[in-house]
Amino acid sequence: MHIVISGRGTVWPDPVPQAHTPPSGPAFTVGSFDGEALLGRRTAQYNHRSAQLAMVACGRALDDAGLEVTDENRDRIGVTLGTAAGSVTGMVEFGMDTFSQPRPHMVAAAKSSHCVLSSPAGAAAITYGLRGANATVASGPATGLAVLRHAVVILRAGHADAVLAGASEEFTGPTSWLARTARGEQVQGEGAAAFVLEGRESARAAGRKALAAVAAVDVRAVPGFSAGQFAESVARTLGRAGVSAPDVSAVAFRHTGVAEVDEAQHSGLARALPGAAQVTDEKRIGDCYSAHALLQLAGLLDEAALPAVVVAADPDGLLSVAVLNGVPE
């Protein structure tokens, strides 16, 4: 079964980074984002910023695909969203009351779902009426590609006919303090990207244009990072996708902030894909961490730079490679 992308939705950060008060640093933020206006006051009140960003991207992807959700198809449309660790800010906003209130259980009930990593996927399902397979994937900076992989497996196994696959990253107080501590002083970013994935025949039958084929996605634990490791992973995934290296027009990746990993990544990708343009997007969106790979994918689709490879390495020990291919009309 060939899986294609038939819709994309994005929430891009503003193109110029803004300064923020320490312990936050400068960041590319979605300055004009108004969850209340976009999703309604009630939805905005129950959901943290990560969830709101993801939900808006999901809505835009459905619109872009022209996929109308009806009683006939809602049971067969799934949602897979990605996150690194949920909304840390959402958890802190909820949990601070356990320390500051007279009794620790006097917390805001409406924010209790902030403690659950999967709350954005459930909220997106409620907002758009999607009753199919619903899941959340957490794989650090490889999250976006893991989301694609999950959606592909769910579609191939016949659990759903279409999957909204997306990831978001928020720039808010505690989340940004944490990111700066864990990943160094890179300029952070926030945003979201979501895609409608479905079988090629399903898209064709419904008259939806396939923007790209998700030809192969590989997400695996690695014992360490070397140039050879990157080159082999790319070569293996290209092999599974049936795409030859000289045909690849662009390879998108993210700097991890760990010097040895980034050196291995640079030389490994140059070795595996000598003719491909290298894209990091960091000067345009900062480091959007768990949403970075999918925002990059959206950018590659905008530029019609196919076939393309997206790579995401997590220095904790995860390496992920996706190969996107063009789909003949």
Binding residues among 263-302 for another protein as defined by CB under 8 A: none
The partner residues of 192 in beta bridges, in order of sequence, read: 11, 168
* CB contact burial 84-104 (16+ within 10 A = b; e otherwise): bebbbbbbbbbbeeeeeeeee
Cβ proximity to another protein, 12 vs 253, nearer residue? 253
Handedness of CA 182, 226, 240, 64 (dihedral sign): positive
Nearest 10 degrees: CA dihedral of 24, 26, 32, 35?
Answer: -30
Asked if 133 interacts with another protein (CB under 8 A), we say: yes
Binder among 14, 97, 247, 262 for another protein (CB under 8 A) = 97
Binder among 2, 14, 73, 85 for another protein (CB under 8 A) = 85
> What is the C-alpha separation between 69 and 91, in angstroms, rounded?
32
Rounded least distance, CB 247 to another protein, Å: 25
Q: Distance between the two ends of the chain, CA-based, in angstroms? A: 17
Asked if 48 interacts with another protein (CB under 8 A), we say: no
Span 181-220, contacts to another protein by CB under 8 A:
181-182, 218-220
> What is the C-alpha separation between 193 and 166, in angstroms, rounded?
5
Asked if 178 interacts with another protein (CB under 8 A), we say: yes
Q: Which stretch binds another protein (CB under 8 A): 5-13, 128-136, 245-253, 267-275?
A: 128-136
Binder among 96, 205, 277, 304 for another protein (CB under 8 A) = 96
Asked if 230 interacts with another protein (CB under 8 A), we say: no
Binder among 7, 9, 140, 299 for another protein (CB under 8 A) = 140
Asked if 134 interacts with another protein (CB under 8 A), we say: yes
By the 10 Å C-beta count (0-12 exposed, 13-18 middle, 19+ buried), 216 is classed as: buried
Asked if 173 interacts with another protein (CB under 8 A), we say: yes
